[in-house]
Amino acid sequence: MAQTSNVFKLAVASGKGGTGKTLLSTNLASFVSEFDDVLLVDLDVEEPNDSIFVKGLVSDVHPQYKMVPQWDVARCDLCGDCVDICNFNALVNVGKMIVVYENLCHSCHACSELCHKKALPMKKHHVGDVSVIKSQNLTLLEGRLNVNEEQPVALINNVHSLVNQNWSKYKYQIFDSPPGTSCSMVASTGKCDYILLVTEPTPFGLNDLKLAVDAAKLMKRPFGVVINKYGSGNKDVEEYCRDNGIEVLGKIPFDISIAERYSKGELLLDKHCFRSVVSSLYNKLENIRISQNG
Amino acid sequence: MDSIREIVVLSGKGGTGKTSVASSLAYLAGKEAILADCDVDASNLHLIMGPDIIKKELFYGGEVAQIDIETCIQCGKCKEVCRFDAISFSAGVHTIDNLSCEGCGYCSRVCPTGAITMMPRLSGEFYISGIRNGSQMSHAKLFAGGENSGKLVATVKKNAYRMAKERGCDYLITDGAPGIGCPVVSSLSGAKVALLVTEPTMSALHDLKRVLFVVRRFNAIPLLVINKSDINEAVSEEIKIFAKSEKIEHLADIPFNTAFVESMGKARIVAEENQFLKGIFESVWEKAKEVADSSVQN
């Protein structure tokens, strides 16, 4: 939803992995922080990397939970309704026991609330953490899924709620999103004001950009493209954008020294050619923000 | 007992070269292996394997609630129980947002007039195709915003195993998804070997450690390839030290090479385009097979 205030929620996404979402998110956030407060949110909760680049002290850790049913043997009459009710196969009747597969649970509460014996009370299940990392004007919220969890969506939704509760005063909110175009990408970007799709000028990049464009259109979110490693590969991505009226907001040149500095976990704003791309991108985003709020 | 040995290519971080590695191994394996593309929400193997679709089926990845306006009495019970904010009430009617609906069916169970029906949700397609190396490939496309990629991955794998059995293939080469979530977990189920493709960046090393945890959980034997190994020699060294401490066999270093992107541009496999890289992939494939074979004997 567009916010009533002048908050601007920017999602940085891509279909293909490794195109430069983190590179762009961390440097853009760092650029804005030179003159304004900015919130960077790492929603790639399966593999969060922003904290490698944004160095600061962890000021707070918010444990994150999803609600899952817990079987109460004393109350259960083994009627088996819960097993039928669950559409995700998270409950199984094993002989005289109901086993809960917490990984599969979507926290819909149906089994718990429809159980006539109230034998499946909901309890908190720890799925990950949100760390708050402060680096002057930049606040990084890092969502991190526990490695034994499989479903990132509940945690991503939690992080969004947490942002709205505690950090809504930040005008700039940048959401570094997971790759792909499935439910986790939708949960990350679906309520943002604008989606930046980062791609690379290769057939793989183009194929996955098209998928990401489909996702953005499905969610009815405005979007634009940033081409990373520009100058390598071919011109097909540019032609696709031009033919489909998709705005290209920036081109990051292919430069082995960028790759090398990225590999060390460094920000790149002191590199002139890179900084000018980020600065011009920021100006374009400012225009978009102002026109959306106007 | 199943004698098909599955080698799944994973990385944690995206963009390290999983698809280039998987396609090159498949190219070398020829009819010895079936290829499966389990990165279903951003699949790329089809762009270079020249698939000739033999069979296509629709994938229903769960359910989605549908309200019949005629029967609905606008009591709002459905909206009350929905934990996903998928039901909204405006202009006097209740409507369901398909993207937010996770298909739990709670609303349909509490609706007093039976106005809500759970419908199968069409969320992708899956295919069986002949490919350029003379073998076959099992692959899929998850539609944008699709749910249940884990289930689609399981479908792709099930087909791949069946194809391998029918065609007498000893191996299955599986191109996995980035991350550690449901599609990765689903691609690991049954795999003997996890070939981890990483690159010498702090991000990739961080992500490698997390995916390794999942690999261990499934008892697959991890093997390591460092792609773009000369981009940062120091981090490359750090990865090797980590691999050693974890007793992960390091099979190869692949120096940065523009042949990866160039071959992609020609819709070709990097191992068929570049002799030097072909040599590296040959040694990786031989070693991966050897490890996969020994895991069956033990």
Window B:12-71, CB contacts with A under 8 Å: 12-16, 19, 41-42, 44, 47-48, 62-63
Closest CA of chain B from A46, distance in Å: 5
Torsion of CA B67, B70, B73, B78, to 10 degrees: 0
Q: Which domains does chain A have, with CATH numbers?
A: 8-64+130-293 (3.40.50.300), 71-120 (3.30.70.20)
pLDDT tens digits along B187-196:
999 999 999 9
**Chain B residues inside the 8 Å CB shell of A19:** 14-15
B90 Cβ contact partners less than 8 Å away, ≥ 6 residues apart:
none
Identify each DSSP E strand in A210-288 by its residue range. 223-230, 248-253
Domains defined for chain B, CATH in brackets: 5-50+131-297 (3.40.50.300), 63-122 (3.30.70.20)
Q: Alpha-carbon torsion B174, B180, B185, B190, what sign?
A: positive
Q: Do B109 and A152 touch (CB under 8 A)?
A: no
Which pairing describes strands A138-145 and A122-135: parallel, antiparallel, or unpaired?
A: antiparallel
Contact list in A for residue B265 (CB cut-off 8 A) is: 202-203, 233-234
CA atoms in the 13 A half-sphere facing the CB of A276: 3
- Is B90 in the A-facing interface, judged by CB distances under 8 Å? no
B213 in contact with chain A, both atoms CB, cutoff 8 A: yes
Per-residue pLDDT of chain A (294 residues; tens, 9 = 90+): 444 468 999 999 999 999 999 999 999 999 999 999 999 999 999 999 999 999 999 999 999 999 999 999 999 999 999 999 999 999 999 989 999 999 999 999 999 999 999 999 999 999 999 999 999 999 999 999 999 999 999 999 999 999 999 999 999 999 999 999 999 999 999 999 999 999 999 999 999 999 999 999 999 999 999 999 999 999 999 999 999 999 999 999 999 999 999 999 999 999 999 999 999 999 999 999 999 986
Q: How far apart are the first and last CA of chain A?
A: 15
Do the chains contact at B261 and A16, CB–CB below 8 Å? no
Q: Looking at CA atoms only, how far is residue B166 from chain A in angstroms?
A: 31
ipTM exceeding cut-off 0.90 for this assembly: yes
Distance from CA of A207 to the nearest CA of B (A): 7
Instruction: Give residue B2's pLDDT.
Output: 55
pLDDT-based confidence at B146, cuts 50/70/90? Answer: confident
pLDDT tens digits for range B113-128: 999 999 999 999 999 9
pLDDT of residue A293: 82
- Is A218 close to B265, i.e. CB distance below 8 A? no
Is B152's pLDDT higher than 60? Answer: yes
pLDDT, one tens digit per residue, over B40-93 is: 989 999 999 999 999 999 999 999 999 999 999 999 999 999 999 999 999 999
